[in-house]
Chain A
Amino acid sequence: MPLFWRVCLINGAVFLLGTLALALSPATVSAQPLLSELVVLLLGLTVIVLLNGALLRTVLRPLDRLTAVTGQIDLRHPGLRLDEDGSGPARPLVRGFNAMLERLELERSTSTARALRAQEAERQRIAQELHDEVGQSLTAVLLGLRHAMDSAPEPVRAELDELRGTTRASLEEVRRIAQRLRPGDLTDLGLISALAGLARATSARNGPRVRRRLPTSVPDLPSATELVIYRVAQEALTNVVRHARAESVDLGLTLSDGRLVLRVVDDGVGIPRGAMGAGIQGMLERARMVGGVLDVRAREDRRGGSGTEVRLSLPLPRRAEP
Chain B
Amino acid sequence: MTVRVLLADDHTLVRSGVRRILEAEPGLEVVAEASDGAEAVELTRSVRPDLAVLDVSMPRLTGLQAAREISRRVPGVRTLILSMHDNEQYFFAALKAGASGYVLKSAADEDLVEACHAAMRGEPFLYAGVTSTLVGDFLERMRRGDSAPRAVLTPREEEVIKLIAEGHTSRQIAAELVISHKTVERHRANILTKLGMRDRTEMTRYAIRAGLVEP
- Using a CB–CB cutoff of 8 Å, the interface residues on chain A facing chain B are 131-132, 135-137, 139-140, 142-147, 150, 164, 168, 171-172, 175, 178-179, 184-185, 188-189, 192-194, 196-197, 200-201, 204, 212, 214, 216-217
Contacts and interface: CB of A to CB of B under 8 A. Distances in A.
Given A136-B14, A150-B24, A171 B106 contact: yes
Contacts of B186: none
A143 B85 contact: no
Nearest to B82: A139
A192 B214 contact: yes
Nearest to A178: B84
A185 B56 CA distance: 11
Nearest to B208: A216
Instruction: Name the interface size band of chain B.
Output: 20 to 34
Contact of B109 (A135, A142, A212): A142
Contacts of A172: 86, 106
Contact of A140 (B11, B106, B212): B11
Given A147-B17, A168-B106, A193 B57 contact: no
Contacts of A142: 17, 105-106, 108-109
B89 A194 contact: yes
A147 B14 contact: no
Interface string B57-101: 100001010000000000000000000111111100100000000
Contacts of A140: 11, 13-14, 16-17
Interface string B144-168: 0000000000000000000000000
Contact of A137 (B13, B85, B213, B215): B13
Given A146-B109, A193-B93, A216-B215, A188 B20 contact: no
Interface of B: 11, 13-14, 16-18, 20-21, 24, 56-57, 62, 64, 84-90, 93, 105-110, 133, 211-215
Contacts of A194: 89
A142 B14 CA distance: 9
A143 B13 CA distance: 10
A157 to B, nearest CB: 14
A145 B85 CA distance: 21
A20 B14 CA distance: 103
The 3 closest A-B pairs by CB, nearest first: A143-B17, A146-B109, A140-B13
Given A146-B110, A168-B107, 8 more contacts: A139-B11, A140-B17, A142-B106, A143-B21, A168-B109, A179-B85, A185-B87, A189-B90
Given A139-B14, A216-B214, A200 B108 contact: no
Contact of A188 (B16, B90, B133): B90
Contact of B90 (A143, A185, A204): A185
A143 B108 contact: yes
A185 B17 contact: no
